[in-house]
Structure 1
Amino acid sequence: MTERSVGTTLEGYLTDRDADARVRIRTAAVLLFARQGYAATTIRDLARAINMTNAGIYHHVSSKEALLADLMRAGHRGLIDSTDRMLDGARRPVDRLALLISSLTAIHALNPMLTRVMDGELRSLTPGSTAQDEIIALRDAYEDHWRRALDDGVSAGAFRVTDRRLTRLALMSMCTGTSEWYRPDGDSTLEQVCAEFVAIGLAAVRAPAQAVATCDFSLLPAFPWEPPNV
């Protein structure tokens, strides 16, 4: 991929013929799918955004749905791989839950457009298709980390939870919500947001106040097609 030069606008990058066409197509797709929805976005819209013909788009992607599946697949795999690295060596359920909360929060805060597509467009994949089945399997594989952390914490007596499923959904919703409101120039740093969310999460499972593992942001996935500063 050609590096974006400092000060280059998003529009300038998308139409830069010297930049990697596949990355430009995916960046434009993330931007448009997140802003106006997959269903309302056409191949013509994508072609117009990157100053390319429809035929040029189809040279790099077989269909709009295949492009969506590719984005969601890469996003979920990046999420799973980074989580596996993050949790490596974390044994206590309280540490694992803290890392899950802070990493999911940070990934959504740093990749708000891509994560909106990942979280909201599964319904746009053809029901029963191989692509939809694959994305559901990846999503379930990631959520298994949360299920196991909560189950192990309850079994060990470290957590007190009445409904594990509702607790998991509530905590994950808290984390993913940062894609809607977090701003790098806001009142709180991302580190502060993560620390506060971890405190809220541990209180929700009634874990005793204690020092917990902190998120290593260098282990988070990097997605070159996340539109910058949007």
Structure 2
Amino acid sequence: MGNRTFGRSVLDLTDRDADASRRIRTAAVLLFAQRGYAATSIRDLAKAINMTNAGIYHHVSSKEGLLADLMRVAQQGLIDATEHMLRDVEGPADRLALLISSLTAVHALSPMTTRVMDGELRSLTPGSAAHDEIIALRDAYEDYWKDTLARGVETGAFRVADQKLTRLALMSMCTGTSEWYRPDGDSSLEQVCAEFVTIGLAAVRAPAQATTALDLSLLPDFPWEPPDAPNDPRPDEARR
């Protein structure tokens, strides 16, 4: 894997001289991921960054608008990075390996942002332009997985009984790292990605083979991701 800095610069959310837009988005991602969007108010955001409610509204149109913007940038960043990584990769096994390792790494490196991206679609107003846009972006990303699995089955590289269930299972495995992965844990990110690729190729009954390594520098970077935020927002006694 290519080099990628795991740590992010420490951002003092209460520092009035720091970039206000980044402070707002960092606080929003942290609170939305830990409390949930519905349980977080503009007043909560303002308190977290030592700003007035009016100050918040100077930078964002609304709380829902802020959520939609965070989800839009995160989804588009994932799509753009995936398109770039897969551009010159033809083999279904290599493509699937990159999809698995990149989705795993993005969720491990940006757990709060991806938790909001994956879990708060329900909070956007159904039928709104933002809701429809985020669904379209989500579907556009999932098309890479659908096309890769379909190509593998058509060429005989994969043997899959149910492509949809296989896709959902593999994607859930990857996105789950936002809940439990820690840089100081027992396994490095490279080890986790490699093991998940092995599991994924076995799931589609593809022979074990050397696959294209993931360049972490190609992954989307979300500057508002809270630095050193705990991956598991639950109390210690609730963790397993």
TM (norm. structure 2) is 0.91
Q: How does 1:156-167 map to 2 (within 5 A)?
A: 156-167=155-166
CA distance in 2, matches of 1:227, 1:56: 21
Give the number of equivalent residue pairs: 223
SS in 1 for 2:126: coil
Q: How does 1:24-103 map to 2 (within 5 A)?
A: 24-103=23-102
Identify the residue that residue 183 of structure 2 maps to in structure 1. Answer: 184
Identify the residue that residue 22 of structure 1 maps to in structure 2. Answer: 21
CA distance in 2, matches of 1:208, 1:8: 42
Shift of the 82–7 alpha-carbon distance from structure 1 to 2, 3 Å rule, reads closer
Please report how far the alpha carbon of residue 9 of structure 1 lies from its aligned counterpart in structure 2 after TM superposition.
5.3
Retained in 1: the 8 A contact 2:8–2:227?
Answer: no
Q: Could you say what the CA RMSD is over the residues aligned between the two structures, in angstroms?
A: 1.2
Comparing 124-133 with 209-218, greater Cα deviation is found at 209-218
SS in 1 for 2:50: coil
Q: 5+ residue gaps in structure 1?
A: 1-5
Shift of the 160–83 alpha-carbon distance from structure 1 to 2, 3 Å rule, reads same
CA distance in 2, matches of 1:27, 1:69: 14
Retained in 1: the 8 A contact 2:97–2:212?
Answer: yes
Percent identical pairs in the alignment equals: 77
Identify the residue that residue 3 of structure 1 maps to in structure 2. Answer: none
Please report how far the alpha carbon of residue 18 of structure 1 lies from its aligned counterpart in structure 2 after TM superposition.
1.7
What per-residue deviation string (whole Å, max 9, x for no partner) do you get for residues 104-128 of structure 1?
0000000000000000000000000
Please report how far the alpha carbon of residue 8 of structure 1 lies from its aligned counterpart in structure 2 after TM superposition.
7.3
CA distance in 2, matches of 1:110, 1:7: 10
Please report how far the alpha carbon of residue 74 of structure 1 lies from its aligned counterpart in structure 2 after TM superposition.
0.3
Please report how far the alpha carbon of residue 83 of structure 1 lies from its aligned counterpart in structure 2 after TM superposition.
0.6
SS in 2 for 1:202: helix
SS in 1 for 2:161: coil
Paired residue type of 1:106? A
Identify the residue that residue 226 of structure 1 maps to in structure 2. Answer: 225
- Asked if 1:140 corresponds to 2:139, the answer is yes
Q: 5+ residue gaps in structure 2?
A: 1-6, 230-240
After the TM superposition, which segments of 4 or more aligned residues of structure 1 sit over 2 Å from their partners? Answer: 6-10
Paired residue type of 1:171? L
TM (norm. structure 1) is 0.95
SS in 2 for 1:14: coil
Identify the residue that residue 212 of structure 2 maps to in structure 1. Answer: 213
